[in-house]
Structure 1
Amino acid sequence: MLSYDELTSPERELWDLFPKGRCLDLRTGVPEDDRVAEGGQWGPGRTVRAAAIVALLQGSNTAQAGAVACLRLAGARISGHLNLAGAQIAHAVWLEDCWFEEGVDLSGASTRSMTIVGSRVPGVEAGLTRIEGRLDLRRSRVGSGSASPFHRRITALSLINAHVSGAVNLSGAEITAPGEWAVSAGGLVAEGGVYCGDGFVAQGEVRLMGAQLPGGLHMGGALLERPGRRGVALALDNAVASTLDFSDGFIANGTVRLRGARISDNLTFEGAVLNGPPDGQGPSLVALLMQAVDFDFTLARQPSAAVDLRGAQVSYLHDNGRSWPDVVELDGFVYGSIKVEEAGERREAVGRRGSVARRVEWIRRSPGYSPQPYEQLANWYRKAGHDDDARRVLLAKQRHRRRTLPPAARVWGHLLDVTVGYGYRPWLAGVWLLALTLLGTLSFGTRSPNPVRQGEGAPFQPLVYTLDLLIPIGGLGQRTAWYWSNGSLQCLAYLLIAFGWVLTTAVIAGVTRTLQKS
Structure 2
Amino acid sequence: MAEPVELDDDASGIERELAAAFPVGRWVDAGGREVRASVLARIAGSRPEPAWPMPGLRLRGARVVGQLNLGFTEVLFPLSLEDCDFAEAPGLWWADLGFTSLRRSRLPGLVAPNVAVRAHLRLDGCRFSGKVNLTGARLRGGLLLDGAELAEPGGVALDAQRIELGGDLRALDGFRATGRLQLFQATINGGVHLDGATIEGASSGVANEALDLDSATVRGGVFARNADIAGEISLRHATIGGVVTLTSSTVRNPGGVSLRMDRADVAGGVFLLNSRLVGEARMISTRIGRTIQLAGAVLDNAGGTALKATALNVDGSFEAGADSTGRAGLVANGVVNLVEASVTGPVLFEGARLDNPGGDSLSATGIRAGSVFNCCEGFTATGNVSVTSGRIASRLCFDRATLQSLSCSRADVNHLSMRFAVAPAGEVNLTHARVVLLQDDPATWPSALRLDGLTYQTLIPDLPPTERLGWLGREPRSVRPHPYQQLATAYRQLGHDEHARTVLLARQRRQTRSRSRAARAWGWLQDATVGYGYRPLRAVTWLLALLAIGSAVFAAHPPVAVNPGSSLRFNPVFYTLDLLLPIVGFGQEAAFEPAGAGQWLAYLLIAAGWTLATTAAAGFSRAITRT
TM-score (norm 2): 0.68
CA contact (8 A) 2:179 2:199 kept: no
Q: Which has the higher strand share?
A: 2
2:349 pairs, out of 212, 215, 219, with 219
* Residues 52/435 of structure 1: CA separation in 2 closer, same or farther (3 Å cut): closer
CA drift of 1:23 comes to 12
- Which residue in 1 is equivalent to 2:196? 75
- Equivalent residues in 2 for 1:264-413, closer than 5 Å: 264-275=393-404, 284-340=405-461, 349=462, 352=463, 355-366=464-475, 367-413=477-523
2:221 match = 92
Displacement, 1:293? 0.7
Deviation at 1:324, TM superposition (A): 2.3
Structure showing greater radius of gyration is: 2
- Alpha-carbon distance, 1:483 to partner: 2.5
Contiguous gaps of at least 5 residues in structure 1: 27-43, 64-68, 145-155, 276-283, 341-348
Separation in 2, partners of 1:482, 1:474: 16
**What is the aligned partner in structure 1 of residue 334 from structure 2?**
204
What CA deviation, in whole Å up to 9, does each residue of 1:357-376 have, x standing for no partner? 12122112112111111111
Aligned length: 458
Secondary structure of the residue aligned to 2:442 is: coil
Paired position in structure 1 for 2:362: 234
The separation in 2 between residues aligned to 1:333 and 1:129, in whole angstroms, is: 38
Q: Work out the CA distance in 2 between the residues paired with 1:334 and 1:14.
A: 68
SS of 2:439's equivalent in the other structure is strand
Out of 4, 12, 29, the residue aligned to residue 124 of structure 2 is 12
Please identify runs of 4+ aligned residues in structure 1 that moved more than 6 A. 6-11, 18-26, 50-53
Q: CA deviation at 1:457?
A: 4.7
Separation in 2 of the partners of 1:103 and 1:171?
Answer: 21
User: Who is 2:60 aligned against?
Assistant: none
Q: AA paired with 2:590?
A: T
Task: Give the secondary-structure state (helix, strand or coil) at the position aligned to 1:506.
Answer: helix
Is the 2:147–2:175 Cα contact (8 Å) retained in structure 1?
no
Q: Which amino acid aligns with 2:215?
A: G
The AA in structure 1 aligned to 2:618 is A
Q: For residues 7 and 107 of structure 1, do their structure 2 counterparts lie closer, same or farther at Cα, with a shift above 3 Å needed?
A: farther
Residue identity (%): 33
**Structure 1 position 19, deviation (Å):** 6.9
User: Which one has a larger percent helix, Structure 1 or Structure 2?
Assistant: 1
Whole-angstrom distance in 2 between the partners of 1:415 and 1:56:
80
Q: Deviations over 1:421-454 (max 9, x none)?
A: 1111111111001110111122222224322233
C-alpha change, 1:22 and 1:438, in structure 2 (3 Å) is farther
Determine if the alignment matches structure 1 residue 137 to structure 2 residue 272.
Answer: yes
Q: Which residue of 1 aligns with 2:383?
A: 254
Q: 1:468 to 1:14 in 2, by over 3 A?
A: farther
Matched, 1:48 2:180: no
d(CA) in 2 for partners of 1:384, 1:213: 35
For 1:150, the equivalent position in structure 2 comes to none
Cα distance between partner residues in 2 of 1:239 and 1:251: 20
For residues 98-131 of structure 1, the C-alpha deviation after alignment (integer angstroms, 9 at most, x for no partner) is: 1112121111111231111111102111111111
The alignment partner of 1:192 has SS state of: strand
Name the counterpart of 1:180. 304
RMSD: 2.9
Q: Give yes or no for the alignment of 1:106 onto 2:235.
A: yes
Identify the residue that residue 8 of structure 2 maps to in structure 1: none
CA distance in 1, matches of 2:554, 2:105: 119
1:139-178 to 2 correspondence within 5 Å?
139-143=274-278, 156-178=280-302
**Is the Cα contact below 8 Å between 1:25 and 1:73 reproduced in 2?**
no
| CA deviation map 1:319-342 (0-9, x unaligned) | 1124421111111101111112xx
Higher relative CO (CA 8 A, sep ≥ 6), structure 1 or 2?
1
- What secondary structure sits across from 2:290 in the alignment? coil
Cα distance change on mapping 1:8 and 1:143 into 2, 3 Å: farther
Deviations 1:38-79 (A, max 9, x none): xxxxxx9945227796669946xx88xxxxx44444433223
**Within 5 Å, which residues of 2 pair with 1:358-507?**
358-366=467-475, 367-485=477-595, 487-507=596-616
Structure 2: 5+ residue stretches without partners:
1-88, 93-100, 107-121, 128-139, 149-171, 202-209, 253-257, 322-327
* Change beyond 3 A, Cα 1:8–1:475: farther
Q: CA deviation at 1:214?
A: 0.6
Shift of 1:469: 1.1
* Aligned partners of 1:193 and 1:214 also within 8 Å: yes
The residue that corresponds to 2:260 in the other structure is 125
Q: Tell me the residue number matched to 1:116.
A: 246
Q: 1:25 to 1:170 in 2, by over 3 A?
A: farther
| TM-score, normalization by structure 1 | 0.82
Q: 1:136 offset after TM fit, Å?
A: 0.7
3-state SS, counterpart of residue 166 of structure 1: strand
Go from structure 1 to structure 2 and tell me whether the alpha carbon gap of 1:11 and 1:319 turns closer, same or farther (over 3 Å shift).
farther
The structure-2 alpha-carbon separation of the partners of 1:73 and 1:490, relative to structure 1 and needing over 3 Å to count, comes to: same
Tell me which moved more, 434-443 or 462-471. 462-471
2:619 and 2:124 map into 1 onto residues whose CA distance is: 91
Query: 1:326 & 1:267 partners in 2: Cα distance?
Result: 21
Q: Tell me the amino acid that sits aligned with residue 312 of structure 1.
A: A
Contact 1:457 1:481 in 2 (8 A): no
Residues 239-286 of structure 1: CA deviation (Å, up to 9, x unaligned)? 1112211011000110111111111111111111112xxxxxxxx111
Q: Is 2:318 aligned against 1:189?
A: no
Contact 1:220 1:250 in 2 (8 A): yes
Moved more, 457-466 or 328-337: 457-466
